[in-house]
Amino acid sequence: MEKLFSPFTINNITLKNRIVMPPLASFLIGEDGGVSDTTIEHYRRRAAGGPAMVMMEACAVSPEGIVSPNQARIYDDRFVEGLSKIVRTMKAEDAIPSVQIHHGGRQTSVKVIKRKPLAPSPLPCPTIRGDVEPLTINGIQELVQKFGDAAERAYQAGFELIEIHGAHGYLVNQFLSKFSNIREDRYGGDIVGRTRFAEEIVAEIRNRVGQEFPISFKISAEEYVDGGLTTEESIKILKILVEAGVDVVQVSAGNDLTAEWICQPMFMKKACLVDSASQIKKALDIPVMAVGRINDPYIADEIIDNGHADLVCIGRGLLADPQMPKKAEEGRFDEIRTCIACNTCMQSIFKRGRIECLVNPMLGREKEMAFIPTKKPKKVMVVGGGPGGLNVAWVAAKRGHAVHVYEKRPALGGQLIPGSVPGHKSELRSLINFQKKQAEIYGVKCHLNHEVNEEDIRAENPDVVVLATGSLPALPTVEGIDNDIVFTYEDVLNGDYPTYKKAVVIGGGPTGLEIALHLAEYGCSMTVVEMLPKIGSGLEAMTKKILLQKLKEYNVQIMTETRLSKIEDDGVSVVDKDGMKLFIEAEKVVIAIGTRPYKELYEKIKSLGYEIHQIGDCLEPGTAKTAIFESAVLGRKI
Ligand SMILES: Cc1cc2nc3c(=O)[nH]c(=O)nc-3n(C[C@H](O)[C@H](O)[C@H](O)COP(=O)(O)OP(=O)(O)OC[C@H]3O[C@@H](n4cnc5c(N)ncnc54)[C@H](O)[C@@H]3O)c2cc1C
Ligand SMILES: Cc1cc2nc3c(=O)[nH]c(=O)nc-3n(C[C@H](O)[C@H](O)[C@H](O)COP(=O)(O)O)c2cc1C
């Protein structure tokens, strides 16, 4: 870790190590752009965890540039006070405060900004659609001034580096790219023309903040769309921008059509944008920051050591575990709560209007979920060693309770054990390992191969019983369900090499699709049968996009609006939406229609008079995220 924890200088600032938290929209900003205690605590925790620099999320330079009502803003002097509170907090925790300034351009909607979005050309955003208003020359020049004003406010607020958001398909990126800029005036055409808007912004900011103040530019070096930016073209653009005054570049990728390259889901390789960063580093004379699925300090150190980049940006990794840099520096690697790239954070900001994390239930609730030691230590008996049980156990133990976990199987982890068997899900294991390590640190006693019954509870006589007994695969009531060819997820995802060559999965939800891909990767010819018109409901958008692409690559047949009617010795009979009967030949039939709560024990012991709680799947089958959240809340209440 020597390289990762060595200092580095950009213009007039010296970073204590090579770790930077990149901008991550938190949605912890009020609809009036206000910064609250929650926002401050969010940034305080990130700064206190040991990165050298923390970049505040994208702040809008103009009202029509916002992409969500909860976006941070810097387009008026009234925002400076709130921003300076964040600056003071970051500095107090010994991190360099920096900020990103941003305009969404066409990548926003009338609903949010109550007017037509601005764009370089009359080309609507391909995902949001709707009319856009192409910018006039005057309009462009006004915006250049607005970026300059924003930079001045950032400077006044005390930020020590400003980053221009030139990536992810937003306005500056829209100008840079032929994909979104078909102007024929001096702000379009060749690279020089398309770069002019960004170049003028950089020059204006440099003019406002002076020579000594570091300016960063975030670029989507590869957009992965026809006509979009490539690393080769990005190098030419960056050369112009360096000349105009850029000191450091953050190398990202993707735009609205290829968002999986912005926020890479778990299917994508770790550090998958480093090649691009490395090429840029070779071609430019300024420092380069790599970003994108660098969720592991060893990988981060290797990137610096190999000279691929000067700094690494760790975004979701610090949402998952703000203490990651400190833990890595102290060699406490097995205590790191690793980001599993499930993109719950992305999904939650857009779907739930608040930032959440599967592995870190405290995200966005840092104050309300602080650990307060108990004044009344209790004996707590947790039944079930899945993510819910393990989580409640260590949280309660950390607060001072004496906690015992009982697990009927030989290993802890519950459904996450089979869940982590498909190749792209293997990182779920890091979550089990983290929970186990926390349990060990806080002295939780784990009893494996012990199925708890009422007698055990009477014998142990705990003060509190927590039932985290999970759920079991649900089976349809259909003729032939007892046939030997019927499998559940547990039979398939047991780590054994599948020897069969043709299988049908009943159920096109996340688990069914993951099983289909897993078996297809082993050479099995697969069909998925789903009753509903759509498959993959509940999956995060980017994860779903890649999963569906992969299923297509492996030629997995998908039958929607089709119902299982009978299981035979050599396949299944199904009925499609028109009532047509079909037979699908298969050696195995995997049932993945969901799970049912396992709560028999609750029924048996509720009359015994103990304080009893249920959490996770045994309450209602859901996700590990729900189980962890519920257990995190309960663990703080006991
Ligand atoms: C294939 C698959 C993939 C999945 N992928 C994801 C995903 O990507 N993201 C996500 O968020 N969720 C995922 N899930 C769902 C997630 O794993 C569950 O929602 C989560 O594990 C529920 O946690 P839990 O602790 O409530 O229960 P479980 O994980 O079911 O754990 C319950 C534990 O209790 C034990 N137990 C039961 N009765 C007793 C008893 N009497 N005595 C002792 N021990 C007992 C069981 O053996 C089990 O280990 C997946 C599930 C599957 C099956
Ligand atoms: C919830 C969320 C919000 C984000 N907001 C921003 C942003 O405001 N500006 C930006 O340049 N990138 C943003 N990103 C992208 C990240 O800065 C980073 O490039 C990306 O998450 C990949 O890095 P990581 O794997 O370390 O998270 C966001 C990503 C996430 C997950």
The pLDDT assigned to 351 comes to 84
What's the rounded Cα separation, in Å, for the pair 489 and 466?
26
Please state the rounded mean pLDDT for residues 335-361: 94
Which ligand is in closest contact with the Cα of 348? 2
3-state secondary structure of 248: strand
How many helices (H) does the chain have, and how many strands (E)?
A: 21, 28
pLDDT at 350 over 90: no
The pLDDT assigned to 85 comes to 97
The pLDDT assigned to 555 comes to 98
pLDDT at 263 over 90: yes
The pLDDT assigned to 371 comes to 94
Contacts of 148 (CB under 8 A, 6+ apart): 201, 204, 205, 207, 208
Mean pLDDT of the chain: 96
- Tens digits of per-residue pLDDT, 471-507? 999 999 999 999 999 999 999 998 888 889 999 999 9
Please state the rounded mean pLDDT for residues 198-217: 97
Please state the rounded mean pLDDT for residues 237-242: 98
Q: Which helix (H) or strand (E) holds 126?
A: none
- Distances from the Cα of 308 to the Cαs of 269, 294, 302, in angstroms? 16, 13, 9
- Distances from the Cα of 356 to the Cαs of 70, 398, 441, 542, in angstroms? 15, 22, 25, 16
pLDDT at 255 over 90: yes
- Tens digits of per-residue pLDDT, 376-413? 999 999 999 999 999 999 999 999 999 999 999 999 99
Nearest Cα residue to 161 out of 343, 8, 325, 384? 8
- Tens digits of per-residue pLDDT, 560-577? 999 999 999 999 999 999
Least confident window among 276-280, 368-372, 601-605: 601-605
- Tens digits of per-residue pLDDT, 285-322? 999 999 999 999 999 999 999 999 999 999 999 999 99
Task: Find out whether 552 and 356 touch, Cβ atoms under 8 Å.
Answer: no
Beta strands in 304-350 (DSSP E): 311-313
Substitution site in 19, 101, 262 for ligand 2 pocket (most atoms within 8 Å of beta carbon): 262
- Tens digits of per-residue pLDDT, 54-107? 999 999 999 999 999 999 999 999 999 999 999 999 999 999 999 999 999 999
- Tens digits of per-residue pLDDT, 19-34? 999 999 999 999 889 9
The pLDDT assigned to 142 comes to 98
509 lines ligand 1 (CB under 6 A): no
Active site members: 170
406 lines ligand 1 (CB under 6 A): yes
The DSSP call for residue 575 is E
Substitution site in 448, 469, 518 for ligand 1 pocket (most atoms within 8 Å of beta carbon): 469
CB atoms within 10 A of CB 138: 8
What's the rounded Cα separation, in Å, for the pair 347 and 354?
9
pLDDT at 353 over 90: no
The pLDDT assigned to 604 comes to 84
The pLDDT assigned to 603 comes to 81
What's the rounded Cα separation, in Å, for the pair 109 and 119?
12
What's the rounded Cα separation, in Å, for the pair 345 and 318?
12
Pocket of ligand 2 (CB under 6 A): 22-25, 57-58, 100, 165, 167, 218, 252, 262-263, 291-294, 313-317, 345-346, 349
Which ligand is in closest contact with the Cα of 56? 2
At residue 524, φ and ψ (nearest 5 deg) are -90, 135
